[in-house]
Amino acid sequence: MAARLSLRLLAPMLLLLWQPTAAWQPPWAVPEMDFTQCATDVHWVGQNYMNMKGLVMDDVTFRYCPSRLPEIWPNLNNSKVTSLRLFRSWNEAWPEERQDTVWDSLVSYVKNNGVKVLMGTPVTCDAQADERDWKWTKALMQRLGPANVMGFAVGNELELLWGQKGIAKDCILELWDKGGLWKTFQQRVAEVDEIGFGSLAITSVFTSGIIYSGDKFLPFVNIPGQAMVNDFLKNATRKYARRFVFSVNIYPYFDPTLTIDPPHHTCESAIKIATCFKTGCLANKALIEVRLKMVALTHRPDDRLWIGEIGWSSPKADALSTAMASCPTFSSVESLTLFYRNFLEWDLSVGAPGVLDPDHAFYFTMRDAQNFGNQEYFGLLKSCNNAECKIHSADFVPPEMLRRYSWMNFFLQLLGSTLVLTGLFCATWASAAAACPRRKGDRDSSEESDSSSESSR
């Protein structure tokens, strides 16, 4: 009876621990995840100009899983990623002993897939750190080679630096008012030319906010003590002409003009105008304004324009402070899906006669990451440990082939297996003991005990 009860208790454990899995292997036999694209059951067609679109590589992907860069665009079956944007080449906070391994993975991905990279080197208030970053950037550029580098950017969104906590006013004055950025830019370009990248496109990336505080004489923002962007762009375009590329980050997601004022201004109307890419949409309006300002500065209609970043956060980004922060659907996966699909289908047209379209656009980003200490969720994947696309159906279950047992899972199964085997051994022993006849001596002893008990009464 005890044996049958033990087996009944053990049967469910056996089913849970030993249900069929696809090609299980112990962890020491499992190679690095063979990753080409994220897993999903939502796939689209109708994408346009994918050779003029690329992905931004976030710091999470760069540091923790450079061997898991998507070769195929998420939610597309046949469109390969052809360009990549890097903010930096390394970070002093990352383990130095992993640098070669990480760079090997990146270089292998780039060369095996024919990817072009927009390199980036930071500019901060720490000159020594900037020089170290620049050495890393040059070293990585040389490993990639001129054939795989489409350009390099000096600084990213530096017009916002003055508003960051802990930034000294002297640093801002040195960077902008005293021409520090312009001096650094020229030095970086000269050194790039010396190592064999003489015809490489050069840029510095700003937010689209630089277009909203200028005038017809100073098209871009030029505020002493904050950001002298117009002066910098004038110098760069005069000295380097069309080699210099205008680059702006455009985020309809953060647009401060989006309000909630029913019946005309609602969450739904905001989502509609912020997620589209046609005449009248926020992204298109910003791009048209950028182009007009470029012409006002250089008097040339055909300077190149790159979108350095464009994307949508789901769930809500910590930095979202507009009226849309109180609109749950604005940062939903459904809104992300709408924005991302429209981006893929977009032919890069701004929809205005006589206004040239952007020449390239980088989607931000591969995986969720932090920015200036704020958690953002612009990734098309959630994390390095998650192989699923963020966009999938509600009942989607990723294929088992994308799952790999970690050491912890292995030891948990080993422990469970040991418990099951121990239970089976005990159940078998109990069953065998119950089936064996007692020895005569045992019986006599028992009877003597009973007799002894009787006589004592």
Backbone φ and ψ for 276, nearest 5 degrees, come out as -100, 165
Both structure tokens of 252: 């309809």
Looking up tokens 């929809």 gives: 351
Looking up tokens 């505080």 gives: 213
Both structure tokens of 184: 């650094």
pLDDT, position 325: 97
Given a contact cutoff of 8 angstroms between Cβ atoms, the answer to whether 392 and 84 are in contact is no
CA distance 374 to 204: 23
367-393 confidence digits (pLDDT tens)? 999 887 778 999 999 999 989 999 999
| Other CB atoms within 10 A of residue 215 CB | 10
What is each CA distance from 193 to 84, 350, 354, in whole angstroms? 21, 34, 35
CA distance 68 to 387: 9
Cis ω on the peptide bond leading into residue 40 (within 30° of 0)? no
pLDDT, position 450: 44
Q: Helices (DSSP H) in 386-406: which residue ranges?
A: none
CA distance 51 to 55: 11
pLDDT, position 411: 60
Cis ω on the peptide bond leading into residue 322 (within 30° of 0)? no
pLDDT, position 217: 80
| Other CB atoms within 10 A of residue 189 CB | 21
* CA angle (331, 333, 335) in 5-degree steps: 60
pLDDT, position 99: 97
What is each CA distance from 225 to 158, 169, 177, in whole angstroms? 13, 7, 7
Residues 6 or more apart whose CB falls under 8 angstroms from that of 427 comprise 2, 3, 6, 7, 10
285-334 confidence digits (pLDDT tens)? 999 999 999 999 999 999 999 999 999 999 999 999 999 999 999 999 99
CA distance 130 to 137: 10
* CA angle (367, 370, 244) in 5-degree steps: 80
Looking up tokens 């762009």 gives: 233
Strand, coil or helix: what is 158? helix
CA distance 434 to 2: 9
Given a contact cutoff of 8 angstroms between Cβ atoms, the answer to whether 54 and 84 are in contact is yes
Task: Provide the 8-state DSSP code for 74.
Answer: T
Amino acid in position 150: M
Packed helices 2-17 and 407-435: angle between N→C axes, nearest 10 degrees:
160
Please report, in tens digits, the pLDDT of each residue of the chain (457 residues total). Answer: 544 544 454 444 444 444 444 344 443 333 445 689 999 999 999 899 999 999 999 999 999 999 999 999 999 998 999 999 999 999 999 999 999 999 999 999 999 999 999 999 999 999 999 999 999 999 999 999 999 999 999 999 999 999 999 999 999 999 999 999 999 999 999 999 999 999 999 999 999 999 987 666 899 999 999 999 999 999 999 999 999 999 999 999 999 999 999 988 999 999 999 999 999 999 999 999 999 999 999 999 999 999 999 999 999 999 999 999 999 999 999 999 999 999 999 999 999 999 999 999 999 999 999 887 778 999 999 999 989 999 999 999 887 444 544 445 556 666 766 776 776 766 666 665 555 454 444 444 444 444 444 443 3
Both structure tokens of 56: 């931004």
Residues 6 or more apart whose CB falls under 8 angstroms from that of 109 comprise 66, 67, 69, 71, 115
pLDDT, position 213: 78
Q: What is this structure's pTM?
A: 0.82
CA distance 311 to 331: 12
